Structure 1
Amino acid sequence: MRIIYFSHKHSFFRKVKKNIMKHTIPQFALYGEGRWIDNPDFVHIEDIEARSSDLGWHIKAHQHTQLLQILLLKSGSVQLQMDTDKRFLEGCWGIIIPPGTVHSFRFAPQTDGRVLSISDAMLSTDFANAAFLRAADCIDLNHEQEDFQHLWQLLNLMEYEFQRVKSHKTQLIEHLLKAILVFIERHHSTRHAQHQSHDDLTLQRLKSLVNQHLAEHWKLSAYASALNVSEKKLNRLTLQAYGKTVIQLVHEHLLLEAKRNLIYTQKSVEEIAYDLGFKDPGYFSRFFKRCEKITPGQYRQALERQN
């Protein structure tokens, strides 16, 4: 297996265009370095300072369609936004950013930390469907200093191996990567006490189908047929796990995509409606108002006033 990597305190950097494209959420391989070119063996590690210090410690909103990112914050602070969730983190934190999550950072100057980027395809079969890597998450490690130090040392070892010329380097990196993921999974399991089962796998596959067919507005029967389960059982699983029916989850995801576009692009309400599969922009506006109590235009105006 071939691993692509870069790791230097002030590594190469291509200047990011100042103007965010009007009609899309910016997508990068790594921030500022062009769009993703399929590479199933891609792994990258760098200091937070290497990329953000040249940009005034501000990484604007963007997404990676094929990359999982794990940030380990050692000191300093960050104002973080992941989709519609805003957080302020200070001290020792782990941050999980799954593929497709729109995110931005505003770091305090001299913030110390590492960013590990992994091709989605690079994850071993042990972690390919792991729930803890499929939802954006922030892990407070301020009171878990021993575990934090172990994680930090693993990242240091990974960077060290990247810089060495050894015949078994790829194998070593795989082992280090697995150790890092095991540490994170342990914290997630402790906090959430989740257990994988056949039903969990069905729910994971459902999420994937919702993402793939969101703009097609699939009915419950289509999801049940694709998953080879009854409509009744599928609704029962989602109600038990999330307190929502399948269609409620689909509508929730439609609303999230609508908000992403209203927040991060300058698309018109009509453009967003058509992109999300609504044949009538008026119906889209009514759908949005039913969920949020305000129209898409009012939602965008409220955001502009806040900013």
Structure 2
Amino acid sequence: MRVFEFDSKKYGFELMMDLHRFETNPNLDFESKPHTIDFYEIMFLEESKGNVELNNQKTQLTPLMILFASPHQKKRNKITNARGFHLVFKDDFLANFFSDKLFVHRLQYFYNAAQPQFFQIDTADYELIKICLNEITAEIKNYTSDSKHIIRSLLYFVLTKLNRCYSKQYCLSKETQGNPEIYTFKEVLEINIRSMHKVEAYAALMNIDRNKLNKILKSYSGLTAQQMIHHRLLQEIKTELLYTDKTISEIALDLNFSEPNNLSRFFVKLANISPSEFRKAK
């Protein structure tokens, strides 16, 4: 499977982010085959045709649609006539600057297995964001010693504003500076989902009481810790079924199920279809 890697030296100086308009970048490759990326990606699609498959969910494109992708997620792009902005960045670009390694985990649209990783933005909100995006592209084009600071500030605003809009659409908490256990849980879930499936294990890893963890997560996402774990585990199984040739037994072993039948029962309960039927349908 092809892996798109971030090029930090594209402009002749190190910059851990990039932004451009689709229509001014002839080298942009909309890969229609399954692929993955090693950076964060946001597509601001003012106009386009086609669809995108991300997290095993195919999305038909409509005007003013914004799509989000995280590192190592499997995706396919079947996009034509794209107009808008393409934003990519590495976690370090913001995390180190703000001394907050959990920053991207504070954003509802990244690492959210329960909600779609896209939404249609209101015109007024987009016009405000678009001003910032144009300022960022201008800073990159005319880069000086202080440009990095201006770019970071503008990008921070864009990402936080998007979080508000996304959270409002899906009735989620827009809080980004709340209880740190929320964002720590999201981080350790990504790291350990293939081996740890129980709330008790995550609570112990985080040194927090299980009931307290559930209460915090419920107020933030509307889901319990176990529900968040199940959504993320289901997503991981679907990814294995769609993008690998592994047998059900091999997937069960890799994802730490005690036996294949347990994986199948789990999958049917959450997806209302057997793993083999899901694989054939796709």
Please indicate the TM-score interval, normalised by the length of the shorter structure. 0.7 to 0.9
Amino acid at match of 1:95: L
Q: Distance in 1 between matches of 2:241 and 2:61?
A: 25
Contact map agreement 1:80 1:105 (CA 8 A) in 2: yes
Within the alignment, does 1:175 sit opposite 2:148 as a pair?
A: no
Shift of 1:79: 1.0
Shift of 1:200: 4.4
Within the alignment, does 1:155 sit opposite 2:166 as a pair?
A: no
Contact map agreement 1:42 1:119 (CA 8 A) in 2: yes
Larger Rg: 1
Shift of 1:279: 4.3
Within the alignment, does 1:74 sit opposite 2:46 as a pair?
A: yes
* Identity among equivalent pairs (%): 24
Contact map agreement 2:172 2:220 (CA 8 A) in 1: no
Within the alignment, does 1:260 sit opposite 2:239 as a pair?
A: yes
Unaligned runs of 5+ in 2: 8-13
Q: Distance in 2 between matches of 1:147 and 1:196?
A: 18
Within the alignment, does 1:215 sit opposite 2:189 as a pair?
A: no
Q: Distance in 1 between matches of 2:179 and 2:136?
A: 32
1:264-297 CA distance string (max 9 Å, x none): 2233323222221234334323332343343322
* Alpha carbons of structure 1 residues 171 and 80: separation in structure 2 relative to 1, 3 Å: same
Q: Distance in 2 between matches of 1:175 and 1:259?
A: 37
1:158-204 CA distance string (max 9 Å, x none): 22222224232222322332232243234245444625388743232
What TM-score, normalized to structure 2?
Answer: 0.78
1:285 is matched with which residue? 264
1:93-112 CA distance string (max 9 Å, x none): 2222233433322113x321
Q: Distance in 2 between matches of 1:154 and 1:130?
A: 21
Within the alignment, does 1:62 sit opposite 2:35 as a pair?
A: yes
Unaligned runs of 5+ in 1: 1-20, 34-39
Within the alignment, does 1:118 sit opposite 2:89 as a pair?
A: yes
1:93 is matched with which residue? 65
Q: How does 1:226-237 map to 2 (within 5 A)?
A: 226-237=205-216
What TM-score, normalized to structure 1?
Answer: 0.72
1:131-172 CA distance string (max 9 Å, x none): 33423532323x42x432333332232222222242322223
1:74 aligned counterpart, secondary structure: strand
1:221-263 CA distance string (max 9 Å, x none): 3222222322232334445555654334323322210101112
Bigger mean CA deviation after superposition, 232-241 or 293-302: 232-241
2:58 aligned counterpart, secondary structure: strand
Q: Distance in 1 between matches of 2:222 and 2:106?
A: 21
Structure 2 counterpart of 1:84, from 51, 56, 69 = 56
1:71-124 CA distance string (max 9 Å, x none): 11122334122213222222222222233433322113x321221101112224
Q: Distance in 1 between matches of 2:240 and 2:60?
A: 23
**For this pair of structures, how many residues does the alignment match?**
266
Structure 1 counterpart of 2:21, from 47, 52, 56 = 47
Structure 1 counterpart of 2:4, from 19, 28, 35 = 28
